[in-house]
Chains A and B, each alone.
Chain A
Amino acid sequence: MRMLRHFSSWLRRSRLDDELRDEMAQHVEWKTETLIAEGISEPEARRRAAIEMGNVTRLREESRETWGFPRLESVWQDAAYGLRQMRRTPLFTAVAVVSLAVGIGASAAVFSLADAMVMRRLPVRDPQQLILFKWSSGPVFPFSSLNGNGQQTEQGLSSTSFARVALDEMRVATSGRMDLLGFADLYDVNVTADGRAEMASAHVVSGNYFDVLGLSPAAGRLLNGSDDRNDAPPAAVISESFWRRRFGGAEVIGRPLGVNGLTFTIAGVAPEGFGGIGQVGDSTDVFLPLSARGLVVRGEDKDDDPTNWWVLPVGRLRPGVSAAELQPTLDAVLKRTVAASKPALTAKDLPAVHLLDGSRGQSDTRDAMVAPLKTMALVVGIVLLVACANVANLLLARAQSRARELSVRTAMGAGRMRVVRQLFTEGAVLAVMGAALGLVAAHWISGALMPALTTSPAAAVPGLDWRLVAFVTVLSVTCAIGFALAPAMRSTNTTLAAGLRDGSARTTGRRGRLAGSLVVVQLALSMVLVVTAALLARSLWNLDLVELGCEPEHLLTFKVDPTLNGYSPERVRALAVGITEGLRALPGVTGSTFTSHRLLSNQSSIGVGSIDSETPPDVNAPEAASFRRSHLVWRQVTGPDFFSTMRIPIVRGRALDARDSQSSAKAIVVNGVLARRFFKSEDVVGRRLRLGMSPTSPLYEIVGVSGDARYTSVRGDMPPTAYLPATQQPLNFINFAMRTAGAPESLAGAARDVVRRVDDQVPVAGMRTLAEQAAESLQQERLFARLSLLLGGVTLALSAVGLYGLLAYGVAVRVPEIGLRMALGAGRRSVAWLVLRQSLTLAAIGLLAGTGVAMAATTLIGSMLYRLPPRDPLTILIAALIMLGTSALAAYLPARRASRVDPIVALRAE
């Protein structure tokens, strides 16, 4: 009841206050009238009435306390006071808030990315019960082909894919203790619906897949055991996002869906947010039964071949069963199935099974992301530290200039804790403002960072959720404690008298040391980031200078994959030729061609080559491995007019042309690197190159030598390349390229129409110019370089502000001393030098410490650098010069101010 009255009066406190004011005024009025009636003059009566009443303001204050919640309100008052202070010093506030926003925003961005990419669990029922299976082998491999995510280890290989027979036997062996499902990634498939073809990603899944994962459909039904049979009518489930993207969320149940030329019936739609249980960030569009894989994928490997390891098992443990107790059983099962298919293997060569946490899906992408995320976390951690140090320094400087105010407060009876609390509240207000701005920045920054981690277009930029907000809250509270409490304690720890005495020079020693070391730490950390940024920028510069060897502008490229539809080699070649001719006929197109491998996209076909005069060693001979390594040839199958369309010059002989037909001798063009490395000469027209490891491998006649052009990527050495004519080679993928007179993008629609006219079952993918492709292949480098330049610059600026603040404050305190020096004959230059020397001394200490740390830290980014050692002395020198220049700049204004001290004014003030 009392609480209720309390609360309701708190709500009405403003009206109550007005009433009280009226009431008390009325009281004074009556009192005055009474006194006048007693014969006292009016002014005197008024005076006495007021005295009798007492301090009206204080009394009202006291009444307000009875209505409200004084502790809470005083915190609010402190916050409001802090805000008022900030309005009075907008520059201080802006610097502090922006510093914090950058630090907190960058940290929050990295956190939300890490959360989305590495920490988040699969959107299925009880994901913590899921386990993954990984095997590791010795140097002798027990399989003929692998579909999973194989990883080379020191001893051999490890992967998460198994033979079908292993999956079945593992399921039987653990029956009742674990539910085991299996799936496999089909990667890209050609999907046709409503007469429109496009590429989509597909998984095949076992009949119990959706049941074990505990999912329920968004529409229709999910796949079950009766679909996963060879005689079952072909059924497919599509993801919710594909349903919306491709069908606009319309009724699709029972409609046909063409997958690689086979017709499936759409049975249902998977729940929203579910994109399969593959890699992080994957979004699978189509789910097909496991039994359909053999039909959809037209490989030579049979699904029931025990040496074809293609299916990825995932288990759900029954309650009370631990992964550890299943491990020996599963290990025995795998060893037994492998031994049955490969009797020649000895016991030590049999693979071992490891059971891993499966709650986050397959781990390979995740593992690959941990390193860049760690680097990012380190960088943003440094930025946050520097930002906090800066705010701490700013607060320290301000607390110092407020020393008198604080002393007065203490003298008037405010407890030390009360004053500390007020300073802390002001710090917290800064932190809250920084955090709010930081959250906005975080969204933007994580959007910018995303491409550095994954190229998957499906990976959405993580939004604002409670985990992020919780993280930012904890972070900003920690920051506030870090940067506000220490200076607050320190600055109230001065004696009353010292604070009240005019000029607080006595307390500067301690503040000077603390602030000085903060600035040195800032400078050292900045040095680390400046070195990092300089390294990445120089590396990118090196990459930008790389000659591609062709003209990437005005070159539109796209790919089709007709082999997915099961087309014969003749049909594929006819399709390629038909589309190429159709493209050339377009107005504005000056040339068109195709290749087997897309340029600058890390795709290539690499084989062994040898010159006509040497014989390759036997495949099993000990020297075979080293011969293979030194005789690698990058092969590219090319359509007509390849060299003229790409503008790769032919330096000797001729380009491939109509003379190289199916019936003529096998012809190739090699690049200069290949000619020089294999033949020690560029004069190789007419010589022959053997492609293949066997002495009976075919010999190719070299008809021309081309200029050196980039093939797989902009990075790395120029590969020795052999160009083969499509007329004489089998063709799988087709990557078209057309050179345009005007803007290439404007012809994208026309190019799609050409493909549709030739074959409407073949979808077009990856339409972009070669220049875009080149830029995209350097996207991660560019992004890291830009990001570190930005953060390095911000950190440097923050440190410069910190240094400036310290120097300016030092000059302000030392004005009398400087005046005395000048009175005794010191010149303006020597006084300015005094300030500059202090700045450079601090910078030098920070620089030395920073270089030490940088030396250790830059090895982290060593693998990202192109033609640049991580401890490149020139780069470190450049960074050092930038740092020294910045510190000199920070010293400029304070030094100028010091040199303009008027000795007479300064000494008179003393």
Chain B
Amino acid sequence: MGTKAARQDLLPGTLDMLILKSLSIGVMHGYGIAQHIKTVSGEVLRVEEGSLYPALQRLQLSGLIESEWGQSANNRRARYYRLTRAGRRALGDAESSFDRLIAAIGRVMRPA
């Protein structure tokens, strides 16, 4: 029952980080976040779009993001997510540890 979303072309744990990063730009709804990740990554990162939603619930429960219902541009009801102060801090931590990770991988893959 507690199986993690499979078939995910992302490193484990990176989805949360990508969501937080996307929301650091501004308030977005779920579809917007999916679109954003897809566009910015040049359609390289393929997120199973549905798996966004359990992740959003999780982040919300952890207090990293919050949401409220509002009207979309084409006048439809949608839920908008925004980073909380704690979320912004968590994103900072995630970015620096991500940078360290990438740098480390880079040193392994392309030794000077």
Contacts and interface: CB of A to CB of B under 8 A. Distances in A.
Interface of A: 1-2, 5-6, 9, 16, 19-20, 22-24, 26-27, 29-31, 52-56, 59, 61-63, 65-67, 70, 74
B48 interface: yes
Contacts of B53: 20, 23-24, 59, 63
B31 interface: yes
Contacts of B50: 24, 52-56, 59
A27 B49 contact: yes
B54 to A, nearest CB: 4
B1 interface: yes
Contacts of A59: 5, 50-51, 53-54
Nearest to A77: B1
B54 A63 contact: yes
Nearest to A65: B2
Which 3 A-B pairs have CB atoms at the shortest separation, nearest pair first?
A54-B50, A62-B54, A53-B50
6 contacts: A23-B53, A31-B31, A52-B50, A59-B54, A66-B61, A70-B2
B58 A23 contact: no
B1 A70 contact: yes
Interface stretch (B14-22, B71-79, B91-99, B100-108): B71-79
Nearest to A56: B50
B31 A26 contact: yes
A31 B49 contact: yes
B61 A2 contact: yes
Given A24-B53, A52-B48, A66-B54, A19 B79 contact: yes
Contacts of B61: 2, 5-6, 9, 66-67
B63 A23 contact: no
B2 A54 contact: no
A262 B5 CA distance: 92
A54 B7 CA distance: 10
Contacts of A2: 61-63
Contacts of A63: 53-54, 57
B49 A53 contact: yes
A56 B63 CA distance: 24
Contact of A74 (B1, B5, B54): B1
Contacts of B63: 1-2, 5
A735 B5 CA distance: 90
Contacts of A52: 48-50
Which of B5, B50, B53 has the most CB atoms of chain A within a 10 A radius of its CB?
Answer: B50
Given A22-B77, A23-B78, A54 B48 contact: yes
A54 B62 contact: no
B92 to A, nearest CB: 20
Interface string B61-85: 1110000010000001111000000
Contacts of B57: 16, 20, 63, 66-67
Contacts of B79: 19, 23
B38 to A, nearest CB: 10
Interface residues of B, number: 23
Contacts of B51: 54, 59
Contacts of A30: 31
Contacts of A62: 5, 54
A543 to B, nearest CB: 65
Nearest to A30: B31
Contacts of A65: 1-2
Contacts of A9: 61
A74 B2 CA distance: 11
B30 A23 contact: yes
Interface-central residue, A6, A29, A54, A67, by most chain B CB under 10 Å: A54
Given A5-B63, A24-B50, A66 B2 contact: no
Given A6-B61, A16-B57, 20 more contacts: A9-B61, A19-B79, A20-B53, A23-B29, A23-B53, A24-B50, A26-B29, A26-B76, A26-B78, A27-B30, A30-B31, A52-B48, A53-B48, A53-B50, A54-B50, A54-B51, A59-B51, A63-B54, A66-B54, A74-B1
A1 B86 CA distance: 13
Q: Which of A1, A29, A59 has the most CB of B within 10 A?
A: A59
Interface in B29-48: 29-31, 34, 48
A461 B45 CA distance: 75
Contacts of A54: 5, 48-51
A54 B50 CA distance: 6
A22 to B, nearest CB: 7
Question: Which of B1, B58, B77 is most buried by chain A, counting CB atoms within 10 A of its CB?
Answer: B1
Contacts of A6: 61
Nearest to B52: A27
A816 to B, nearest CB: 39
Contacts of A31: 31, 49
Nearest to B8: A54
Interface string B2-13: 100100000000
Nearest to B50: A54
Contacts of A27: 30-31, 34, 49
B6 to A, nearest CB: 10
A876 to B, nearest CB: 57
A301 B1 CA distance: 85
A293 to B, nearest CB: 77
B31 to A, nearest CB: 5
B67 to A, nearest CB: 9
Nearest to B58: A66
A640 B17 CA distance: 110
Contacts of A61: 1
A70 B29 CA distance: 28
A30 B1 CA distance: 30
Nearest to A414: B1
A93 B103 CA distance: 65
A474 to B, nearest CB: 31
A120 B79 CA distance: 63
B45 to A, nearest CB: 14
Most chain B CB neighbours (cut-off 10 Å) among A22, A62, A67: A62
A20 B63 CA distance: 18
A26 B53 CA distance: 12
A637 B1 CA distance: 87
A63 B52 CA distance: 10
A688 B48 CA distance: 117
Contacts of B48: 52-54
Contacts of B30: 23-24, 27
A721 B13 CA distance: 101
Nearest to A24: B53
Contacts of A66: 54, 57-58, 61
A26 B63 CA distance: 24
Contacts of B77: 22, 26
B19 to A, nearest CB: 14
A30 B61 CA distance: 26
Nearest to A53: B50
A2 B86 CA distance: 13
Contacts of B29: 23, 26
A125 B107 CA distance: 82
Nearest to B7: A54
A80 to B, nearest CB: 15
Contacts of B49: 27, 31, 52-54
Nearest to B47: A52
A517 B31 CA distance: 63
Contacts of A53: 48-50
A26 B58 CA distance: 20
Nearest to A33: B74
Nearest to B4: A62
A9 B48 CA distance: 25
Contacts of A5: 61, 63
Contacts of A56: 50
Contacts of A20: 53, 57
